[in-house]
Amino acid sequence: MKTIHPLNDNPSDPGNPAADLIRQKLGNLYATEPNAREERQEADAKASHRSVHQRYMHELSQSGKSLAEIQTAWHNYYVALPDAEKHQVWQEFYAEHDRRKNAAAAPAPASPRPVIQEHKPPHVTQPKPTAADKRSVSDIKEQLLKRVAGRSKQKGGHLKSLVFGLSCGLIVVVILLFSFFNERFIAPFISPSRTVSDSQIIIDPGSTTAGPEPEIIIPKINAELPVIYTEPSIDEHAVQQALQDGVLHYATTPNPGELGNGAIFGHSSNNILNKGKYKFAFVLLHRLEVGDTFILQKDSKRYVYKVFTKKIVKPEDVDILDDSQGKPATFSLITCDPPGTSLNRLVVTGEQITPDPSSNVASSVTKQTKPAILPSDSPTLWQRLTNWLSS
């Protein structure tokens, strides 16, 4: 049994407020003594091995005094006890209480339970076990604490699951919004290519000599871009691969210096996460108007074209690849419109003015079946996601 030692021999010592606080709590804790009637029954039940306090109560019960007198005497006795002995009185009281409960529930007399060392303040209401419940008060308290802790963990698990679900949903929304914002707002305003200079491109339209690199030069939008003439296929995948390295001469159309209508495709905008540095090559193509010029350079020769028509068509309108009536040598520049979508195609067509097209040769291109649809921008981030989910 625990013994409570005084913390200070001088209770009025103002230099030890912690001790005064503890003495005050102990005074409040043991201010009320066990019920005299139950204490009397406890003392009478103990025929032998009574404690000092139980002997005192037994003597009171045999003195012939009334219950009120016994209660008064017991109160005075209890109040005069030091805290350690008050604690002992309560321990004896609870031990006898548990013994009676177990005796009532058991078919045979049970041995007295050991004294519970845990302090039980008189003003705290303890859970009352049922007649068939053989658990002690401390066992019940421990099980209740475990149950409360288990519910707290369960609530914490639900909260974590909710936070995880919301986080995943937020990530998906951010990806979709980024894709939409990038392809509708950022991409259309990116400069045509990294090769574009801030200084105006000036070309002598009378000169027909040029460098060996195949290029297209559009002075009005300050664009100077490589042209891919080496891709023989018009398959969509092959076209998209070639467009990563510049703008593409369509394999079914004539080359510069040949009769007929040639075609060059370029991206107007695209997902910035896609490969290639020419995904914005023709983003400013819509600025060209009738009368403007563009230049094609191939095999060290320069060909100048003057725009005579500009129109927007559907992707299925493949007839724009046909020869232009009354124009022996033309070239069409084609891109998606509006920028960031594949809804339509912008077609800007110019007729050759330098050198004189009368010196052009017949087309060297082998006639092929027309495609079902004009080439488009490479798949957007959203299209890639939907294709992946549907596959």
207: CATH:
2.40.260.10
Q: Is residue 204 part of a domain?
A: yes
Q: Are residues 23 and 126 in the same domain?
A: yes
Question: Do 198 and 287 fall within a single domain?
Answer: yes
pLDDT at 91: 80
- Looking at the fold, whether 300 and 271 belong to one and the same domain comes out as yes
Task: Give CA angle at 189 (187, 192), nearest 5°.
Answer: 85
Rounded Cα gap, residues 377 and 272, in angstroms: 12
What pLDDT shows up at residue 3?
Answer: 40
pLDDT given at position 160: 77
Residue 385 lies in a domain: no
156 & 197 share domain = no
Q: Is residue 22 part of a domain?
A: yes
Q: In this structure, are 211 and 356 located in the same domain? A: yes
For residue 10, tell me if it sits in a domain. Answer: no
CA separation for the pair 278, 191 (Å, rounded): 10
Domain boundary among 134, 159, 177: 134
Token pair listed for 115: 């004294």
Domain-embedded: residue 61: yes
Q: Which of 153, 171, 187 is the last residue of a domain?
A: 187
Per-position pLDDT tens, the chain of length 391: 434 444 444 444 455 666 566 556 555 555 566 666 666 666 666 656 677 777 777 777 777 788 788 888 878 887 888 888 877 777 877 777 777 777 777 665 555 555 555 554 555 455 555 555 567 777 777 777 777 666 666 656 677 778 888 888 888 777 666 555 555 555 555 544 444 445 556 666 567 788 899 999 999 999 999 999 999 999 999 999 999 999 999 999 999 999 999 999 999 876 666 778 898 899 999 999 999 999 999 999 999 999 999 999 999 999 999 999 999 999 999 999 988 788 999 999 999 999 999 999 999 988 777 888 999 876 655 666 666 677 6
C-alpha–C-alpha distance, residues 316 and 312, integer Å: 12
- pTM for the full predicted model: 0.52
Give which of 246, 251, 191 is closest to 214, Cα–Cα.
246
The verdict on 269 and 331 lying in the same domain is yes
Write out pLDDT tens, residues 153-174: 665 667 777 888 888 888 877 7
Same domain, 295 and 224: yes
Q: So what's the pLDDT on residue 128?
A: 55
Structural domain boundaries enclosing 130: 17-134
- Is 287 within 8 Å of 320 (Cβ atoms)? no
Residues 85 and 230 in one domain: no
The answer on 302 and 230 residing in a single domain is yes
CA atoms within 13 A of residue 80's CA, in its CB half-sphere: 7
86 and 155 in a single domain? The answer is no
Determine the pLDDT at residue 75.
82
Look at residue 314 and tell me if it is in a domain: yes
Q: Is residue 288 part of a domain?
A: yes
Query: What's residue 178's pLDDT?
Result: 58
At a CB cut-off of 8 Å and minimum separation 6, what does 58 contact? 43, 44, 46, 50
The confidence score (pLDDT) of residue 6 equals 42
Asked whether residue 228 falls in the same domain as residue 373, the answer is yes
Residue 10 has a pLDDT of 46
Phi, psi of 109 (to 5 degrees): -60, 135
271 near 249, Cβ under 8 Å? no
For the chain, how many structural domains are there in total?
Answer: 3
Secondary structure of the chain as H, E, C letters: CCCCCCCCCCCCCCCCHHHHHHHHHHHHHCCCCCCHHHHHHHHHHCCCCCCHHHHHHHHHHCCCCCHHHHHHHHHHHHHHCCHHHHHHHHHHHHHHHHHHHHHHHCCCCCCCCCCCCCCCCCCCCCCCCCCCCCCCHHHHHHHHHHHHHHHHHHHHHHHHHHHHHHHHHHHHHHHHHHHHHHHHHHHHHCCCCCCCCCCCCCCCCCCCECCCCCEEEEHHHCEEEEEECCCCCCCHHHHHHHHHHCEEECCCCCCCCECEEEEEECCCCCCCCCCCCCCCCCCCHHHCCCCCEEEEEECCEEEEEEEEEEEEECCCCHHHHCCCCCCCEEEEEEEEECCCCCCEEEEEEEEEEECCHHHCECCCCCCCCCCCCCCCCCCCHHHHHHHHHHC
240 and 272: one domain? Answer: yes
Asked if residue 388 belongs to a domain, the reply is: no
Final residue in a domain of this structure, among 125, 160, 187: 187
